[in-house]
């Protein structure tokens, strides 16, 4: 009987040792959800700041710079970044990579339809989708914060599709600029 208990304890300890990891997680680590087998985003690039022209702080206020566009729009009930917005995110990623002291708040929003709790969660998923794309393209996680406002801060007041489509968005807000 003691031999069976001993073997059972040893087997359990062996199983626990096999399931443990040596890396552990540190405070501040961000969990990333894998959404495909490719390991990245289709159309995304990791080539850095190449091809985006002036990446200085002044380019944030230049209306001719792609960095002056800071809103990414989403389809109804979706957190998938549209193909046409990926180049915009890549430009912001290049800017942030070239300016490691600059911080950005990624703010998720929804339209008024749906429960408040659901909209907060959807806004968070949208913000996290943009954050993952920025990080994939080389932006330090310490430069990015995310927040979801759900339906609380509409860009356009109204109860029709034209207003709703403008409210389903993520805004990139540069801290201190």
Please report how the helices 83-98 and 116-136 are oriented relative to each other, as an axis angle in degrees rounded to 10: 60
3-state helix, strand, coil in the chain (%, to 5): 40, 10, 45
Tens of pLDDT, residue by residue over 113-169, are 999 999 999 999 999 999 999 999 999 999 999 999 999 999 999 999 999 999 999
Predicted TM-score (pTM) of this structure: 0.70
Distance of CA 99 to the CA centre of its chain: 19
Residue 105 falls within a domain, yes or no? yes
Tens of pLDDT, residue by residue over 14-52, are 555 555 444 443 444 333 333 333 334 344 433 344 455
The HSE-up count of residue 157 (CA atoms within 13 Å, CB side) is 0
Residue 170 falls within a domain, yes or no? yes
Residue 17 falls within a domain, yes or no? no
CATH of the domain at 139: 3.30.1330.60
Task: Give the residue numbers spanning the domain of 106.
Answer: 57-175
CA 33/CA 136 separation, integer angstroms: 12
């Amino acid at each position: 009987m003691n031999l069976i208990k001993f073997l059972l304890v040893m087997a359990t300890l062996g199983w626990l040792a096999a399931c443990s990891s040596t890396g552990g997680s540190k405070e501040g680590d961000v969990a990333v959800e894998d959404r495909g087998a490719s390991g990245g985003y289709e159309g995304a690039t990791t080539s850095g700041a190449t091809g985006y022209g002036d990446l200085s702080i002044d380019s944030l206020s230049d209306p001719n710079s792609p960095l002056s566009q800071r809103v990414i729009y989403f389809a109804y009930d979706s957190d998938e970044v549209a193909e046409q917005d990926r180049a915009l995110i890549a430009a912001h990623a290049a800017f942030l990579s070239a300016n490691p002291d600059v911080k950005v708040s990624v703010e998720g929003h929804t339209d008024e339809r749906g429960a408040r709790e659901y909209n907060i969660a959807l806004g968070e998923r949208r913000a996290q989708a943009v954050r993952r794309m920025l990080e994939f393209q080389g932006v330090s996680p310490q430069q990015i914060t995310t927040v979801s406002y759900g339906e609380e801060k509409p860009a356009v007041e109204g109860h029709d599709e034209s207003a709703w489509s403008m409210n389903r968005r993520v805004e990139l807000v540069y801290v201190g600029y």
